Amino acid sequence: MEYKEKRLIKKVKKGDHQAFAELVDKYKNSVYSICLRMVGNSQEAEDLSQETFIRAYKHIDQFDTDRKFSTWIFRIATNLSIDFLRRKKPSVSLDAELPGTDGLELKEILASGEALPDELVVWSETERIVQYEIDRLREKYRSAIILKYIQGLSLKEISEILGVPIGTVKTRIHRGREILRKNITAIRGEE
Amino acid sequence: MTCLNKRFVSLMNKVLDGEARREEKMELDRHMETCESCRNHFRELKQSTELLNHLSHPQLPFSFTKNVLDKLPAENRHALREWMSRHPVWATAAICALPMSFVMIAAKRQTFFQGKNGEDHGYLLLRVPEDRS
């Protein structure tokens, strides 16, 4: 970890709010981006981002300064998002891999012009479709895909964030990529 | 039509993960020249990941950091330092007042013990009382 960040964290460990504010400013948009793509709703994502930083502050004593702060904070964000998904909508990801549903629901939703959260309306059509397909992935595939393609992290970092071996990360990315390919191609084929 | 030989699918994954050796990449390319289903499959995989890469990265409102700070447990260990940086004039006054007060107390003590006629009672107090008979 870079020297400046180490120094900041030492200050945070002593209870320095201003030092913590610098860390929040540095990582808030990356954390938000993970939460947003995990839960697909900007308000929930903002709340989860806030919760991520509050937890990080409260548990900063457990953070080992020899490790990367980004890995640690992304881990908190990912875990909180997964907890949120399990609490809030346990059924959504269950049908993610059911055959025969290829994009049909989305077409219906888009045609009826409702049921999508307000925030998604400002997104482009493509973005809506992609987010919808991300939302349909199981959590374990979703988190791996988001960390890889939206955060652009290395397999090693992803394995540390998710707490699984690199081989498992690869398998999840391959599987997630294949599901996305199938569903996105199906939607495009119908257009 | 549907080839999707396991070996080629795994090569596709290696290429997309950036882990394929040059020979492996060439082997896949050679196969896709003649295999339409693998060619399509690989194109679709690449398109999907490119869509992910191009998703927007919305920014949080500027007030976010302040909102987080407002929710943190109170800053206690640095309360003194915080107060000093917010009130530099009072802080300087307080720091100067400390040695000043020593000087003043010392000065007062001296006049007190010296008494009215200038006799040094303070000095006498420290001595073993003499027999004055």
pLDDT band per the 50, 70, 90 thresholds, residue B92: confident
The arithmetic mean of pLDDT across residues B113-120, rounded, is 56
Q: How far is A135 from chain B (nearest CA, A)?
A: 13
Same domain, A65 and A153: no
Write the ipTM.
0.76
CATH code, domain carrying A119: 1.10.10.10
Same domain, A111 and A77: no
pLDDT band per the 50, 70, 90 thresholds, residue A14: very high
Asked if A168 reaches chain B (Cβ–Cβ under 8 Å), the answer is: no
pLDDT band per the 50, 70, 90 thresholds, residue B28: very high
Question: Which of A90, A116, A131 marks a domain boundary?
Answer: A90
Same domain, A186 and A95: yes
Domain-embedded: residue B10:
yes
Parent domain of A79: 1-90
**Which residues of chain A does B60 touch, with a Cβ-Cβ cutoff of 8 Å?**
28-29, 32, 46, 49
Burial class (CB in 10 A: 0-12, 13-18, 19+), A136: buried
Parent domain of B107: 88-133
pLDDT band per the 50, 70, 90 thresholds, residue B96: confident
Residue B100, amino acid: M
Closest partner residue to A21 (CB to CB) among B16, B57, B65 is B65
Same domain, A168 and A182: yes
What does pLDDT average to over chain B?
80
Q: Is the pLDDT of residue A10 over 90?
A: yes
pTM for the model: 0.72
Asked if A57 contacts A20 with a C-beta cutoff of 8 angstroms, the reply is: yes
Same domain, A85 and A100: no
Same domain, A9 and A80: yes
The total number of structural domains in chain B stands at 2
Same domain, A11 and A54: yes
The arithmetic mean of pLDDT across residues A56-79, rounded, is 95
pLDDT band per the 50, 70, 90 thresholds, residue B68: very high
Number of other residues whose CB lies within 10 A of the CB of residue B115 = 12
The total number of structural domains in chain A stands at 2
Predicted pLDDT of residue A106: 53
Q: How far is A150 from chain B (nearest CA, A)?
A: 6
Asked if A156 contacts A166 with a C-beta cutoff of 8 angstroms, the reply is: yes
Each residue's pLDDT tens digit, A96-120? 444 344 444 555 545 544 444 544 4
Same domain, A75 and A95: no
Domain-embedded: residue B107:
yes
Same domain, A17 and A81: yes
Sign of CA dihedral A42, A44, A47, A48: negative
Whether residues B72 and A28 touch (CB distance < 8 A) is answered with no
Question: Which of A64, A90, A116 marks a domain boundary?
Answer: A90
Q: Is the pLDDT of residue A71 over 50?
A: yes
Note the helical H segments in chain B: 6-16, 22-34, 36-53, 64-71, 79-86, 88-114, 121-126
Q: How far is CA A29 from CA A50, A52, A68, A70, in A?
A: 11, 12, 17, 12
Q: How far is B2 from chain A (nearest CA, A)?
A: 14
The arithmetic mean of pLDDT across residues A115-144, rounded, is 80
Same domain, A97 and A80: no
